[in-house]
């Protein structure tokens, strides 16, 4: 079925015309109206058989080559080179990819040893240990972190109730307390130095004096 | 030339206002740190206390820390303000002591803050002044904390100060003074029932060769280390 330009259906091609087009019938035998149709169809078919001398793409590229290239300064060319999006293709071997992923995971997930803390000249390493069996969290809050919560958490990886952690702090005196389970403020029983917190309830802060790692005053 | 005149015209009033803007800048920065953390009911009073400290050239950081500490602990506003005000009074007392002992004027803020901390730890003004006078240009923190550590371990305050002064005169300075206090404590804990006086005498005999601190150990399960 052939659709006409109005969207309606056209009649199937006449079998005699079809035979003539297929070379199975002499076109001269066709009636006049079919012979006209035969001639038009053959002419159209021959036109379609002729390959144009150049394709559209060839003509466009030739036009581009003919037009003069714009002259750009080296800086402009560099900027254009840098700003132009480019496809980058990675060809990874699965074995190397897995090794790289494992290495990154090790760096990100394995906690660094306290000994790896690197204090600057006017800094020192402070270590905190507390025994809080059954606690869900223990953090250290003090003058070194503006008494802000959530900055220095102690760890109890083996769940034995002993929480510990270390931090690089500025050399000098720092007051601090442990906050257990986010609500209970406790002085460090192992601090050895205490000072009244000054709020009139007789509560004491733990006192930490950090010696500079360089050993100078 | 016109540019030079314009710069001079701008610079003169700016230079004149420098002192004022410094005070206003300190106040503004402290307010930024306190807003949102200090209860609104306490903020005006604490602002006023900090402004007083700025006007008197006292260090403001201990006051800001006290306000942040009280807020973090959920201290009620009236007690929070009381704690910060007590801090201001300690800083004033400290400045008087520093001004007597240290010829530098105005007294260094670090000295004032360290002395206020030593007073809070219970050192008497006379002991503090004595330790300051020995090395007025050095940071007084280590000597004051070493003395406070010894007093906390029930050494006689005057004897402790005397030992630290002697140690300083024999070349033990700065954080090494902590080692003097630590050595006295170790001597006290040795077997044989030594008295405090015996322990001080033994440390005095070893000066200036007090043992250095033990090398930093990995995190232990037995104590908090910082000094």
Q: Would B132 be classed as within a structural domain? A: yes
- Chain A residues closer than 8 Å to B148 by CB: 193
Same domain, B35 and B112: yes
For the record, the structure tokens of A14 come out as 């006449």
Q: Would B15 be classed as within a structural domain? A: no
Same domain, B113 and B166: no
Q: Would A37 be classed as within a structural domain? A: yes
Cα–Cα distance measured from residue A207 to residue B118, given in angstroms and rounded to the nearest whole number: 11
Cα–Cα distance measured from residue A127 to residue A154, given in angstroms and rounded to the nearest whole number: 10
Q: Is the separation of the CB atoms in B149 and B227 below 8 Å?
A: no
- Chain A residues closer than 8 Å to B114 by CB: 173
Nearest CA among B15, B87, B52, B140 for reference residue A173: B140
Q: What is the pLDDT of residue A16?
A: 87
Q: Reply yes or no on whether the pLDDT at A12 is more than 60.
A: yes
Q: Is the separation of the CB atoms in A71 and A80 below 8 Å?
A: no
Residues 84-103 of B with CB under 8 A from A: 86-87
Same domain, A123 and A206: yes
Q: A103 to chain B, minimum CA–CA distance in Å?
A: 25
Q: What is the pLDDT of residue B167?
A: 94
Q: Would B8 be classed as within a structural domain? A: no
Which of the listed residues A85, A108, A137 is the one where a domain comes to its end?
A85
Long-range Cβ contact pairs of B189-196 (< 8 A, separation 24 or more): B196/B154, B196/B155, B196/B156, B196/B159
Which of the listed residues B120, B140, B167 is the one where a domain comes to its end?
B120
Output helix, strand, coil percentages for chain A, rounded to the nearest 5: 35, 25, 45
Q: Reply yes or no on whether the pLDDT at B19 is more than 50.
A: no
Q: Would A100 be classed as within a structural domain? A: no
What share of chain B in percent tops pLDDT 90?
58
Compare CB distances from A199 to B70, B222, B223 and report the shortest one's residue.
B70
Q: What is the pLDDT of residue B6?
A: 46
pLDDT band, residue A192 (cuts 50/70/90):
confident
Can you give the residue range of the structural domain that contains B97?
20-120
Same domain, B150 and B94: no
Asked which of A74-83, A166-175, B161-170 is least confident by mean pLDDT, the reply is A74-83
Of A32 and B6, which is predicted with more confidence?
A32
Which of the listed residues A63, A85, A107 is the one where a domain comes to its end?
A85
Q: Would A182 be classed as within a structural domain? A: yes
Q: Reply yes or no on whether the pLDDT at B157 is more than 70.
A: yes
Of A67 and B141, which is predicted with more confidence?
B141
Residues across chain B: 227
- Per-residue pLDDT tens digits for A43-79: 888 877 766 656 667 777 777 666 666 677 888 888 8
- Per-residue pLDDT tens digits for A200-217: 888 999 999 888 877 544
Q: Would A110 be classed as within a structural domain? A: no
Helix (H) / strand (E) element for B67: namely: helix B61-72
ipTM over 0.85: no
Same domain, B24 and B101: yes
What share of chain A in percent tops pLDDT 70?
81
CA-based R_g, chain B, Å: 22
How confident is the model over B38-56, as a mean pLDDT?
95
Listed ranges A16-20, A83-87, A115-119; the one with the highest mean pLDDT? A16-20
Q: What is the pLDDT of residue A1?
A: 43
CATH number at residue A155: 2.60.40.10
For the record, the structure tokens of B199 come out as 């322990």
For the record, the structure tokens of B112 come out as 């004032």
Same domain, B97 and B112: yes
Q: What is the pLDDT of residue A2?
A: 45
Hey, is A152 helix, strand or coil? coil
pLDDT band, residue A91 (cuts 50/70/90):
confident
Same domain, A81 and A3: yes
For the record, the structure tokens of B101 come out as 């002992």
Q: Would A127 be classed as within a structural domain? A: yes
For the record, the structure tokens of A162 come out as 């002993």
Any idea what the Cα angle at residue B200 is, between residues B199 and B202, rounded to 5°? 65
Domains: count for chain B: 2
Tell me the CA distances in angstroms from A158 to A117, A133, A135, A161, A163, one per residue in order: 22, 12, 13, 8, 9
Q: Chain A residue closest to B88 (CA)?
A: A198
Q: What is the pLDDT of residue B17?
A: 41
Same domain, B83 and B150: no
Of B126 and A8, which is predicted with more confidence?
B126
Buried/exposed B99-132: b ≥16 CB within 10 Å, e otherwise: eebbeeeebbbebbbbbbbbbbbebeeebbbbbb
Q: Would B59 be classed as within a structural domain? A: yes
Alpha carbons within 13 angstroms on the beta-carbon side of residue A215 total: 7
- Per-residue pLDDT tens digits for B91-116: 999 999 999 998 777 888 899 999 99
Which of the listed residues B91, B120, B149 is the one where a domain comes to its end?
B120
Q: Would A106 be classed as within a structural domain? A: no
Same domain, B116 and B25: yes
pTM of the model: 0.65
Q: Would B225 be classed as within a structural domain? A: no
Q: Would A30 be classed as within a structural domain? A: yes
Same domain, B136 and B53: no
Q: What is the pLDDT of residue B97?
A: 94
Interface touch B218/A114, C-beta < 8 Å: yes
Q: What is the pLDDT of residue B120?
A: 92
Q: What is the pLDDT of residue B96?
A: 94
For the record, the structure tokens of B215 come out as 């090398």
Burial class (CB within 10 angstroms; exposed 0-12, middle 13-18, buried 19+) of B146: buried
Which of the listed residues B93, B120, B147 is the one where a domain comes to its end?
B120
- Chain A residues closer than 8 Å to B86 by CB: 198
Domains: count for chain A: 2
Q: What is the pLDDT of residue A7?
A: 44
Ordered DSSP codes for A85-116? ---------HHHHHHHHHHHHHHHHSPPPGGG
- Per-residue pLDDT tens digits for A127-159: 999 999 999 999 999 999 999 999 999 999 999
Q: Would A104 be classed as within a structural domain? A: no
Same domain, B85 and B98: yes
Q: What is the pLDDT of residue B4?
A: 45
Interface touch B213/A217, C-beta < 8 Å: no
Same domain, B27 and B73: yes
Burial class (CB within 10 angstroms; exposed 0-12, middle 13-18, buried 19+) of B222: exposed
Same domain, B29 and B97: yes
Alpha carbons within 13 angstroms on the beta-carbon side of residue A188 total: 32
Cα–Cα distance measured from residue B227 to residue B225, given in angstroms and rounded to the nearest whole number: 6
Q: Reply yes or no on whether the pLDDT at B9 is more than 70.
A: no
Q: Would B1 be classed as within a structural domain? A: no
Can you give the residue range of the structural domain that contains A165?
119-210
For the record, the structure tokens of A120 come out as 């600057």
Of B151 and B191, which is predicted with more confidence?
B151
B168 near A CB under 8 A = no
Same domain, B88 and B109: yes
For the record, the structure tokens of B97 come out as 């002591």
């Amino acid at each position: 079925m052939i659709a006409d330009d109005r969207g309606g259906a056209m009649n199937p091609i006449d079998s005699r015309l079809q035979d003539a087009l297929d070379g199975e019938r002499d076109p001269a035998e066709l009636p006049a109206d079919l012979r006209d149709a035969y001639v038009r169809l053959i002419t159209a078919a021959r036109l379609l058989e002729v390959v144009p001398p150049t394709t559209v793409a060839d003509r466009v590229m030739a036009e581009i080559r003919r037009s003069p290239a714009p002259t750009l300064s080296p800086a402009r060319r560099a900027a254009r080179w840098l700003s132009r999006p480019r496809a980058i293709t990675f060809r990874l071997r699965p074995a190397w990819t897995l090794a790289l992923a494992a290495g990154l995971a090790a760096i990100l997930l394995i906690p660094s040893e306290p000994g790896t803390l690197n204090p600057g000249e006017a800094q020192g390493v402070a270590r905190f240990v507390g025994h809080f069996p059954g606690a869900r969290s223990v953090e250290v809050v003090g003058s070194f972190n503006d008494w802000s919560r959530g900055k220095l958490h102690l760890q109890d990886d083996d769940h034995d109730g002993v929480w510990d952690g270390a931090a690089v702090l500025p050399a000098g005196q720092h007051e601090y307390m442990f906050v257990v389970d986010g609500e209970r403020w406790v002085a460090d029983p192992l601090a050895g130095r205490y000072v009244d917190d000054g709020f009139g309830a007789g509560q004491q802060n733990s006192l930490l004096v950090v010696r500079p790692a360089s050993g100078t005053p | 030339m016109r540019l030079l005149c314009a710069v001079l015209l701008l610079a003169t009033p700016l230079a004149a206002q420098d002192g004022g803007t410094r005070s206003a800048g300190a106040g503004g920065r402290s307010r930024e740190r306190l807003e949102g953390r200090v209860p609104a009911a306490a903020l005006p009073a604490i602002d006023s206390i900090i402004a007083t400290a700025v006007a008197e050239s006292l260090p403001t950081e201990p006051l800001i820390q006290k306000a942040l500490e009280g807020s973090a602990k959920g201290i009620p506003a009236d007690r929070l303000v009381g704690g910060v005000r007590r801090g201001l009074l300690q800083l004033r007392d400290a400045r008087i002591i520093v001004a007597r002992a240290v010829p530098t004027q105005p007294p260094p803020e670090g000295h004032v803050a360290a002395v206020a901390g030593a007073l809070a730890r219970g050192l008497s003004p006379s002991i503090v002044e004595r330790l300051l006078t020995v090395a007025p240009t050095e940071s007084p923190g280590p000597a004051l904390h070493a003395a406070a550590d010894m007093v906390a371990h029930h050494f006689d305050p005057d004897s402790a100060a005397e030992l630290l002064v002697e140690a300083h005169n024999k070349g033990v300075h700065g954080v090494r003074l902590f080692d003097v206090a630590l050595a006295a404590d170790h001597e006290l804990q040795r077997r044989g029932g030594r008295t405090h006086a015996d322990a001080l005498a033994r440390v005095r005999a070893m000066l200036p060769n007090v043992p250095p601190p033990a090398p930093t150990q990995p995190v232990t399960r037995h104590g908090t280390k910082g000094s």
